């Protein structure tokens, strides 16, 4: 058996299948591109999903990948299992070979057996095979081609050995290759065996899926015309076999991380349950590093919520190891060093990843302390009510609000003799998952009717000619009204139109769709919306204005030239803005979204701190310098790999094929982009930044305008300055000095007003003391101070309390159209039962309001100014109840 490192195993796998004429493709991002149904890429086949469904065509019919995967949320969730077994992870790599209608079972089984026993030299007597119970074909091939003995082939049911993409669609039997790690890892179950237990002895290392059927809504299986192959082999699992260790965590892919945790915690790792926190941290450090490198940032929903949970779980286990400082970010360089050979982009993003993790670590430590206080409050509430159980909803609120782990809450509850309603907690958790699923379902804005989908599957792509021209004569291929295919659409009706070729750019990549008209000899229609479905069919939503439009008719499509030019200028400016932003704040400032319309630019990017005015000025200056330099803008088609090698920026979240369009602007910018652009940057005119703000944790947004819009904006600002100058009787260039002088004068006047107020307060104080009444031996003052705000009433009430030494003071005023009330009671009277909060509540009720507060001071408001005199008079009646004072 060969002793290979994880990196060597990955390379060996890719090279083997490259030798079998497979296209070697890079790992796709962890965020599935164009698939809102998945939280994360969780298998190698995800990037080929549309190929298997027949919705996408590739220039190759077999491929091989080493795919990074995350299973920590949704249906595929290994989070709670991580560290408890030798083989489960949140982040892992899946090695896979794929056939899209090329080879099938015979070759898939031959390749797998040859690679394992021939290339890796695994001992055949350690390998077992499982097949679907009815798959006699696979059974025969394993014996005749691979030479596997019949008694080492185990038939299992649909749960274990039948794979499907969903409730309907492509599916088929699968065959798993199992490695026997040895009887010393046998579990305690008397039934220990393949398909009978889930212990660490029987290690599934490779799953071969034979995609040969299509399942309809009735569950009926029909053979696919082009059967395909989808396989997945765990890199970490096979590495543990080759390196002859008993756990994935002891391989060279994870053990360096555990050693780093040992140094940070000053504790030694062991492979038993005591090492559980070490394993969790090592796994989660990898998941956090790769998720952030692919653009996911901690947040309270969706993918960001899962990342936050993983990160905080690692931090919590760090606390169990007595690591009391932010530490997880220190493991990012270790992850990078291990994985750099396969994922070189980690190095350039390392600083940003560390910053993102450290910021979240520090935030969690603060919320963990807040959560502890909240948890203690929940426990105390249950005890005071005489309850023996904390509700599941309370535990989930703590978990959801503070990221407070359930098991930690359980420990706190148990210490006080309480337990937690686990079922209620799980119900609340499932309700949140349902809300998240519903939110994802709501996001499927590209959904189309069955008839449109059927048309798209059977027809060639729409030819887009909008990069070269703004008008095109074409033929109507289909008309759809309310999702149903029709022969024609008449004036006054809305419909969806597909033509052979169009100059209309469909909404894509953040760029708004073109607007314009479609004309024919006896009619015309307005284009309301343009979008692309199934990757290459362009739908035009139109309003028929005159005549009728028919399938098969010839039409002229005309794009609104003025709006297109403005949109193109804004899109080109976005590329320059992106380049300037990265130059000023760093390469981690990657585009995370954009909106390009004829009127404005909205540009979202990854960054943790607000941009300073100086940074914004530099970005604006750099962008305008590129505009004024008159850089030529040109585009060309190349392979995705060549585009990346030449340094072209690929935008996160965009779905790219093997051939891509690169847009270059001189030596300043090169991006993968299918949008429309100017011919020369000088056509943009000028760019003006309108503002920058936060839109989420680690996400910022810049808004900008260009060209004619920017010119009008600047002119409006100049007019405002002129108007301000007229008011101040100053020239525009003298406004700052004039305003500074006025502010200084106002400050001086404020000081004078403060002095006068202080004098007035002393004067009022002396006069008010004269109005104090003795009510049954208690000094009481209830007075109206017209026009006084609440701050003045409070400060004066404090002065009067000090002056009286012992007494009750209630002050009221009519301020605007509302009543202000303040009450104070000296400490000696509080002990006798007088309470300012209770007293002010009664007084405020008369004035049409409410209020309350402490025993020594309270305030209130009212809506009936006309009742203020009666309310203040009531104070004396309340105090007069000496025998039964308020309490």
Crossing angle for the helix pair 345-384 and 392-402, nearest 10 degrees? 150
| Backbone phi, psi, residue 756, to 5° | -65, -40
Higher-pLDDT residue of 455, 526: 526
Q: Decide if 533 contacts 452 (C-beta within 8 A).
A: yes
Under the banding of pLDDT at 50, 70 and 90, the label for residue 81 is confident
Two tokens, residue 742: 């006025």
Mean pLDDT of 719-729: 93
The CATH number of residue 775's host domain is 3.10.310.40
Place of tokens 């909106």: 595
Please report which confidence band the pLDDT of residue 369 belongs to, taking 50, 70 and 90 as the band edges: confident
Task: Report how far residue 94's alpha carbon sits from residue 70's, in angstroms, rounded to the nearest whole number.
Answer: 10
Residues shown for the chain: 887
Does residue 255 lie in a domain region? no
Determine, yes or no, domain membership for 758.
Answer: no
Q: Rounded to whole angstroms, what are the CA distances from 202 to 52, 112, 199, 297?
A: 31, 18, 6, 37
Least confident of 159-173, 312-326, 750-764: 750-764
Mark whether 87 and 230 lie in a shared domain. Answer: yes
For residues 576 and 678, membership in a common domain is answered with yes
3-state secondary structure of 217: coil
Give residue 88's pLDDT. Answer: 86
**Same domain, yes or no, for 87 and 234?**
yes
- Asked if the model's pLDDT at residue 857 lies above 70, the reply is yes
Domain holding 652: CATH number? 3.30.980.10
Which one, of 607, 569, 544, 591, lies nearest residue 685 by Cα? 569
Distance CA 360, CA 698 (A): 10
- The reply to whether 433 and 454 lie within a common domain is no
* Predicted local confidence at residue 34, as pLDDT: 66
CA distance 195 to 208: 16
Q: What is the mean pLDDT of residues 707-726?
A: 94
pLDDT above 60 (res 438) = no
**Segment of 439-453, 600-614, 624-638 carrying the highest mean pLDDT:** 624-638
Rg (CA), the chain: 36
Stretch 373-394: mean pLDDT: 84
pLDDT tens sequence across 18-59: 999 999 999 999 988 766 678 899 899 988 888 887 777 788
| CATH number of the structural domain spanning residue 489 | 2.40.30.130
pLDDT value at position 109?
96
pLDDT band (50, 70, 90) for residue 444: very low
Integer Cα distance of 369 and 749 in angstroms: 46
- Assess whether 45 and 186 both reside in one domain: yes
Same domain, 380 and 494: no
Q: What is the mean pLDDT of residues 615-621?
A: 96
**pLDDT band of 365, cuts 50, 70, 90:** confident
Q: Print the domain residue range for 859.
A: 771-880
Q: Are residues 319 and 418 in the same domain?
A: yes
Residue 784: which H helix or E strand, with range? strand 778-784
Helix locations, 385-405, DSSP H: 392-402
Q: Does residue 491 sit in the same domain as residue 614? A: no
Q: Which of 151-155, 377-381, 389-393, 443-447 has the lowest mean pLDDT?
A: 443-447
What's the rounded Cα separation, in Å, for the pair 115 and 39? Answer: 32
8 Å CB contact between 194 and 175:
no
> Average pLDDT for residues 261-279, to the nearest whole number?
93
Kindly give, in sequence order, each residue whose CB lies less than 8 Å from that of residue 611, ignoring residues fewer than 6 positions away: 585, 619, 692, 700, 702
Q: Do both 510 and 570 map to the same domain?
A: no
Residue 835 lies in a domain: yes
Q: Given a cut of 60, is residue 633 above it in pLDDT?
A: yes
Average pLDDT score over residue span 762-774? 84
**Residue 635 resides in a domain:** yes
Residue 723 forms part of a structural domain: no
What letters, b where the CB count within 10 A reaches 16 and e where it falls short, cover 848-872?
A: bbebebebbbbbbbbeebebbeebb
Residues 469-515: tens digit of each pLDDT: 999 999 999 999 988 999 999 999 999 999 999 999 999 888 999 99
Q: Which of 218, 276, 287, 219 is nearest to 247 (CA)?
A: 276
What is the C-alpha to C-alpha distance for residues 837 and 23, in angstroms, rounded to an integer? 78
What value does the mean pLDDT take over residues 115-126? 95
Inform me whether the pLDDT recorded for 75 exceeds 60: no
Element (H, E) at 713: helix 707-728
Nearest residue to 812 (alpha-carbon basis) of 835, 829, 789: 789
Residue 90 lies in a domain: yes
Mean pLDDT on 608-631: 94
At 886 the pLDDT is: 44
Q: Which residues of 449-468 are buried (b: 16+ CB within 10 A; e: fewer)?
A: eeebbebbeeeeebebbbee
> Same structural domain for residues 553 and 570?
no
Please provide the distance, in angstroms rounded to a whole number, between the alpha carbons at the two ends of the chain.
85
Q: What is the pLDDT of residue 483?
A: 85
pLDDT at 872 over 80: yes
- Cα–Cα separations (whole angstroms), residue 457 to 285, 428, 450, 454, 479: 42, 41, 11, 5, 16
| % of the chain residues with pLDDT over 90 | 58
Q: Tokens representing 675?
A: 């949008």
Residue 864 scores a pLDDT above 70: yes
498 occurs within a structural domain: yes
Mean pLDDT of 181-203: 82
> Span 266-286, mean pLDDT?
93
Nearest residue to 96 via CA among 238, 230, 228: 230
pLDDT, residue 299, reads 80
How many H helices and E strands in the chain?
Answer: 24, 37
Cα–Cα distance between 503 and 268 in angstroms, integer? 66
Q: Could you identify the residue written with the tokens 């659409």? A: 489
Average pLDDT of the chain, as a whole number:
89
Let me know whether 494 and 642 are in one domain: no
**Picking from 234-243, 400-409, 541-550, 807-816, which range would have the lowest pLDDT averaged per residue?**
400-409
**Can you tell me whether residue 1 is helix, strand or coil?**
coil
Question: What confidence score (pLDDT) does residue 867 get?
Answer: 93
Whether pLDDT at 745 is above 90? yes
- Integer Cα distance of 392 and 454 in angstroms: 47
The residue among 695 and 138 whose pLDDT is bigger is 138
pLDDT band, residue 636 (cuts 50/70/90): very high
Q: Give the mean model confidence (pLDDT) for residues 624-637.
A: 95
CB contact at 8 A, 807 and 778: yes
**Cβ burial 226-253 (10 Å sphere, 16+ → b, else e):** ebbbbbbbbbbbbbbbbbebebbbbbeb
Question: Which residue among 394, 422, 442 closes a domain?
Answer: 442
3-state secondary structure 874-885: HHHHHHHCCCCC
Which two structure tokens, joined as six digits, stand for 629? 């330099």
Identity of the highest mean pLDDT range in 199-208, 224-233, 679-688, 726-735: 679-688
Q: How far apart are CA 179 and CA 129, in angstroms?
A: 9
**Strand-pair category, 62-70 with 23-24:** parallel
Q: What CATH number has the domain bearing residue 52? A: 3.30.930.10
The total number of structural domains that make up the chain:
5
Going through 302-431 in order, the beta strands assigned E by DSSP cover: 389-390, 419-420
Dihedrals phi, psi of 129, to nearest 5 degrees: -135, 140
How much is the average pLDDT of 289-309?
A: 86
More reliable by pLDDT, 673 or 377: 673
C-alpha 538/C-alpha 804 separation (Å) is 84
Q: Using alpha carbons, select from 765, 770, 782, 771 the residue that is nearest to residue 876.
A: 782
Q: Following DSSP, what letter does each residue of 517-571 receive, concatenated?
A: EEEETTEEEEEEEEEEETTTEEEEEEEEEESEEETT-EEEEEE-HHHHHHHHHHH
From 525, 559, 593, give the residue that closes a domain. Answer: 559
Asked whether residue 720 is domain-assigned, the answer is no
Q: How many CB atoms lie within 10 A of CB 344?
A: 10
Mean pLDDT to the nearest integer, 592-621: 92
Q: What would the pLDDT profile of 570-602 be if each residue is shown by its tens digit?
A: 999 999 999 999 999 988 788 888 999 999 999
pLDDT cut 70: percent of the chain above it: 94
- C-alpha 800/C-alpha 708 separation (Å) is 64
Show which of 505, 540, 559 is a domain's final residue: 559
Q: Are 814 and 869 in contact (CB under 8 A)?
A: no
Asked if 404 and 501 sit in the same domain, the reply is no
Most confident of 187-191, 369-373, 762-766, 845-849: 845-849
Token pair, residue 475, equals 């033929």
């Amino acid at each position: 058996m060969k002793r290979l490192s994880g990196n060597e195993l990955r390379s060996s796998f890719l090279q083997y299948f490259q030798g079998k004429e497979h296209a070697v493709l890079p790992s796709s991002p962890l965020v599935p591109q164009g698939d809102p149904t998945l939280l994360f890429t969780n298998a190698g086949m995800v990037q080929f999903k549309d190929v298997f469904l027949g919705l996408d065509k590739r220039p190759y019919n077999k491929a091989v990948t080493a795919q990074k995967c995350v299973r920590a949320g949704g249906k595929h969730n290994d989070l709670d299992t991580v560290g408890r077994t030798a083989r489960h992870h949140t982040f892992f790599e899946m090695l896979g070979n794929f056939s899209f209608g090329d080879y099938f079972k015979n070759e898939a089984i031959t390749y797998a057996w040859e690679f394992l026993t021939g290339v890796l030299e695994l001992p055949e007597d350690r390998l077992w095979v499982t097949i679907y119970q009815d798959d006699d074909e696979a059974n025969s091939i394993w014996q005749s081609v691979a030479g596997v003995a019949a008694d080492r082939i185990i038939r299992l049911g649909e749960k274990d050995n039948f794979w499907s993409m969903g409730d309907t669609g492509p599916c088929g039997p699968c065959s798993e290759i199992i490695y026997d790690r040895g009887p010393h890892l046998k579990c305690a179950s008397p039934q220990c065996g393949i398909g009978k237990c889930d212990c660490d002895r029987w290690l599934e290392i490779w799953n071969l899926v034979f995609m040969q059927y299509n399942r309809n809504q009735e569950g009926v299986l029909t053979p696919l015309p082009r059967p395909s192959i989808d396989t997945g082999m765990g890199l970490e699992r096979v590495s543990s076999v080759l390196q002859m260790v008993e756990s994935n965590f002891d391989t060279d892919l994870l053990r360096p991380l555990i050693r780093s945790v040992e140094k940070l915690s000053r504790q030694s790792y062991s492979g038993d349950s005591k090492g559980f926190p070490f394993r969790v941290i090592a796994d989660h450090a990898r998941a956090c590093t790769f998720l952030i490198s692919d653009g996911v940032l901690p947040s309270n929903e969706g993918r960001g919520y899962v990342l936050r949970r993983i990160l905080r779980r690692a931090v919590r286990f760090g606390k169990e190891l007595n690591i009391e400082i932010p530490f997880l970010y220190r493991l990012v360089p270790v992850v990078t060093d291990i994985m750099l050979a396969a994922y070189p982009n980690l190095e350039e993003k390392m600083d940003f990843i560390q910053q993102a993790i450290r910021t979240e670590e520090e935030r969690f430590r603060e919320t963990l302390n807040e959560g502890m206080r909240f948890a203690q409050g929940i426990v105390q509430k249950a005890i005071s009510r005489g309850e023996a159980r904390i509700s599941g909803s309370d535990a989930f609120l703590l978990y959801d609000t503070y990221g407070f782990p359930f098991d930690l809450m359980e420990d706190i509850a148990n210490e006080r003799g309480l337990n937690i309603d686990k079922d209620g907690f799980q119900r609340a958790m499932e309700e949140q998952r349902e809300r998240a699923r519903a939110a994802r379902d709501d996001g499927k804005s590209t959904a189309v009717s069955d008839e449109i989908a059927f048309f798209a599957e059977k027809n060639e792509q729409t030819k887009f000619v909008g990069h070269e021209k703004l008008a095109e004569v074409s033929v109507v291929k289909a008309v759809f009204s309310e999702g149903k295919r029709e022969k024609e659409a008449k004036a006054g009706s809305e419909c969806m139109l597909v033509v052979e070729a169009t100059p209309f750019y469909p909404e894509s990549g953040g760029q708004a769709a073109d607007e314009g008209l479609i004309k024919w000899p006896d009619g015309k229609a307005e284009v309301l919306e343009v979008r692309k479905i199934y990757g290459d069919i362009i739908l035009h939503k139109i309003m028929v204005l005159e005549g009728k439009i028919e399938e098969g008719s010839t039409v002229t499509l005309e794009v609104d030239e003025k709006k297109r030019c403005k949109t193109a200028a804004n899109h080109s400016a976005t590329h320059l803005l992106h380049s300037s932003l990265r130059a000023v704040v760093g390469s981690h400032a990657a585009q995370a979204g954009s909106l390009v319309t004829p009127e404005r630019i909205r540009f979202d990017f990854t960054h943790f701190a607000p941009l300073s005015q100086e940074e914004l000025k530099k970005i604006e200056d750099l962008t305008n310098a590129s505009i004024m330099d008159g850089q030529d803008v040109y585009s060309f088609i190349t392979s995705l790999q060549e585009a990346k090698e030449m340094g072209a920026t690929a935008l996160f979240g965009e779905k790219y094929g093997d051939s891509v369009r690169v847009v270059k602007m001189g030596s300043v910018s090169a991006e993968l982009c299918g949008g429309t652009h100017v011919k020369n940057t000088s056509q943009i005119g000028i760019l003006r930044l309108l503002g920058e703000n936060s839109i989420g944790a680690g996400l910022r947004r810049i808004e900008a305008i260009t060209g004619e819009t920017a010119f009008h904006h600047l002119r409006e600002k100049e007019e405002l300055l002129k108007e301000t100058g007229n008011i101040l009787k100053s020239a525009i260039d003298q406004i700052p000095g004039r305003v500074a002088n006025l502010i200084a004068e106002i400050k001086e006047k404020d000081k004078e007003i403060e002095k006068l107020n202080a004098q007035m307060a002393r004067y009022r104080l002396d006069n008010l003391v004269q109005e104090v009444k003795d009510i049954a031996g208690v000094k009481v003052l209830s007075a109206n101070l017209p026009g006084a705000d609440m701050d003045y009433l409070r400060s004066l009430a404090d002065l009067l309390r000090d002056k009286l030494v012992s007494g009750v003071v209630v002050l009221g005023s009519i301020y605007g159209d509302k009543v202000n009330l303040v009450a104070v009671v000296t400490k000696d009277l509080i002990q006798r039962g007088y309470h300012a909060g209770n007293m002010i509540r009664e007084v405020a009720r008369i004035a049409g309001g409410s209020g309350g507060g402490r025993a020594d001071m309270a305030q209130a408001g009212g809506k009936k100014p006309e009742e203020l005199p009666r309310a203040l008079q009531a104070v004396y009646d309340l105090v007069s109840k000496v025998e039964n004072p308020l309490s």
